[in-house]
Every structure is written in structure tokens, then in C-alpha cells.
Amino acid sequence: MSKFTIERESDPAGEATVRAELAFDDEGSGPAILLLHGYPFNRTMWREQVDALKRLHRVVAVDLRGHGESEVTDGVVTMEDMARDIKALLDRLGINRVAIAGLSMGGYVALEFCHIFPTSVRAVILADTRAQADTEEAKANRAVRIEKALHEGMAAIADAMLPKLLTPETMSHRPELVERIRKMMTTTSPRGAAAALRGMARRQDFRSFVSRILAPTLLLVGRLDQITPVEDSEFMHREIGGSRLEIIQGAGHVSNLERPQQFNKALLSFLSEIEV
Ligand code: MLT
């Protein structure tokens, strides 16, 4: 694990400076791929993907601000903040163009990155995510979850979320995986989670933007995803010219963890085709 302190102006007028320490792993060599985790997880959710990718790729897995071993900053951390954080990290690592892969919240950040830095993107992988912004109801639900995280702690968040994240089969028959995911959630800082929830509630609607993505794009989604259902990925597939859609059978919202072999197969096959 390495750490890097980003320091940059938070707005074009240079009125405020952002400083935050980001934790990341940087393994392997070859064309670079950046892995962005979902909420409220951390970079360790990509362990199986890092192992599969690092023989042929330089794989950077980062803890987004407020998560894992990265610094927590209070208030709101927007998807744009996170996208700018990772651009600063990539600049520091000397990576000019990257395949950007994000799951769920990581996908929101990946879309924001494509929007702000299109020339830095060589490919896009969007897993269990969506282009649309929050509805008013979703924003209200986030407000409830912010209170829950801050006043009851992340165990209460995990208890409420796990049955929606995972399939009933995983919940009943794979206690080690459930425990691994639960631990990622309960070790997340409630303040970091709250800042990300506020940021997700404010994120842009990218439904009309996605048709302007020109980089090769892979969409992955668990057939049983209850949080960002298959229709959300089908919409992006229709809009993003030449995109590929892989539906992972038997997986819910964290398809990379529930079905790593199918997920990795689709990912490696996509990357091998665009990298010939
Ligand atoms: C995630 O898995 O990153 C979140 O569930 C996404 C969200 O809350 O919209």
C-alpha cells in the first residue's frame, strides 16, 4: 500500500485548497487500469480482479476519499471531488491514459472522470451502476442513512444494506464472503460515508452525456442486482455506441465479489480485444 497527498485548488478561482491523503495499491506492468470501489467499501473489494489483471496490466486500486485507509474529509465529497482526486493521483503516477473501472459509486466517479477528462480515458468499465441522478425519494433516503451512519454507526448501515447488496443464496450459503463485505462496511468511517452519501445525492444526471462516451466501454451487471438493476445497464448499453453488456448470472450488486470468475473473464476478454 502506498499513500499520496493530493493538494490542489478546489475551484478554478483557486479560492480553496484541497489536501487529502489517498491510499492505493499499484501492481503489475502493462497498460494501466484504475479500479474504483463502491460505497461504503474500499480497494480490497478488487482483490480477485487485481490478481487476475496484474500479469498483463498495471493495476491501480485506490481508496476513494473518506474510505478505507484514505483520509476522511467532512462535509460533502462530490463525485467530481473524487474524480479530481484520482486525476491528481494518476498525474503523480505518470499515467496519462487509463482504462477506468468503477462499481456502483465507483461507476458514478468513472462517469464524472469521463466527463471532465475525456482524453485521459482509453476504456471504460461500468459495473453495477447507473447514469441517472438520484430521485427526490432517493435523496430523502440518503438523508436518513446519513443520520443512521453518524448516530448508530456503520454496523447499522451494513445490517440494512447487506440483504440488498447480495443474493439470498450468498446471504445463506457464503458466510465468509458476507463477513468480508460486512467488515469493509463496518471499518468505513461514518463521517466518510456521510460525506459520500451527500456527494452521491448531488451527483449530475449523465443520461444524455453517456452517448458522448467514445472510448470502448464494457457494462457489467449482476442479473439479480436490486440496487442498480439490469435495466440501468441496458439503458447505457443502448446509449453508448459499440458498448458491450455482460450480465453476470447468479450475482447481485457486488458482482465482482459474488461471481469473480465470470466477472474477470468478461473483463479480461474486453481488455484483450481493445489492447490488440
Ligand atoms: C454503491 O454500491 O456504491 C452504492 O450503493 C451506490 C448508491 O448508493 O447509489
- What are the residues whose beta carbons fall under 8 Å from the beta carbon of 28, sequence distance 6 or more? 50, 53, 54, 55, 56, 57, 58, 59
Percentage of the chain lying above the pLDDT 70 cut? 97
Q: Cα 125 vs. chain centroid, distance in angstroms?
A: 10
pLDDT exceeds cutoff 70 at 14: no
How much distance in Å is there from the Cα of 40 to the middle of ligand 1?
Answer: 8
How much distance in Å is there from the Cα of 199 to the middle of ligand 1?
Answer: 11
pLDDT in the model for residue 276: 64
Q: Which atom of ligand 1 is nearest to the CA of 227?
A: 5
The pocket around ligand 1, CB under 6 angstroms, is made up of 38-39, 104-105, 200, 227
pLDDT in the model for residue 254: 98
How much distance in Å is there from the Cα of 79 to the middle of ligand 1?
Answer: 12
pTM of the model: 0.96
pLDDT in the model for residue 66: 97
DSSP code per residue over the chain:
-EEEEEEEESSTT---EEEEEEEEEEE--SSEEEEE--TT--GGGGHHHHHHHTTTSEEEEEPPTTSTTSPP--S---HHHHHHHHHHHHHHHT--SEEEEEETHHHHHHHHHHHH-GGGEEEEEEES--SS---HHHHHHHHHHHHHHHHH-HHHHHHHHHHHHS-HHHHHH-HHHHHHHHHHHHTS-HHHHHHHHHHHHTPPP-TTTGGG--S-EEEEEETT-SSS-HHHHHHHHHHSTT-EEEEETT--S-HHHHSHHHHHHHHHHHHHHHT-
Q: Which atom of ligand 1 is nearest to the CA of 105?
A: 3
Which residue among 145, 228, 232, 255 is best mutated to probe the pocket of ligand 1, counting the most ligand atoms within 8 A of its Cβ?
228
* pLDDT band of 271, cuts 50, 70, 90: very high
Q: Largest alpha-carbon pair distance within the chain?
A: 54
How much distance in Å is there from the Cα of 123 to the middle of ligand 1?
Answer: 22
pLDDT exceeds cutoff 90 at 176: yes
pLDDT in the model for residue 142: 98
* pLDDT band of 8, cuts 50, 70, 90: confident
pLDDT exceeds cutoff 70 at 205: yes
pLDDT, average across residues 222-241: 98
Angle, helices 190-201/154-165, rounded to nearest 10 degrees: 50
Nearest CA to ligand 1 atom 7: 105
Q: Which atom of ligand 1 is nearest to the CA of 107?
A: 3
Grid cell 474510505 — which residue? 67
pLDDT in the model for residue 7: 84
pLDDT in the model for residue 12: 60
pLDDT in the model for residue 18: 80
pLDDT in the model for residue 33: 98
Tell me which of 2-11, 69-78, 138-147, 214-223 is least confident.
2-11
How much distance in Å is there from the Cα of 13 to the middle of ligand 1?
Answer: 31
- Domains in the chain and their CATH numbers? 2-274 (3.40.50.1820)
Instruction: Give the angle 140-142-146 at the CA atoms, nearest 5°.
Output: 120
How much distance in Å is there from the Cα of 105 to the middle of ligand 1?
Answer: 5
* pLDDT tens column, 88-119: 999 999 999 999 999 999 999 999 999 999 99
- What are the residues whose beta carbons fall under 8 Å from the beta carbon of 220, sequence distance 6 or more? 125, 126, 127, 128, 233, 245, 246, 248, 255, 256, 263, 266, 267
pLDDT in the model for residue 17: 78
Average pLDDT over the chain, rounded to whole?
Answer: 96
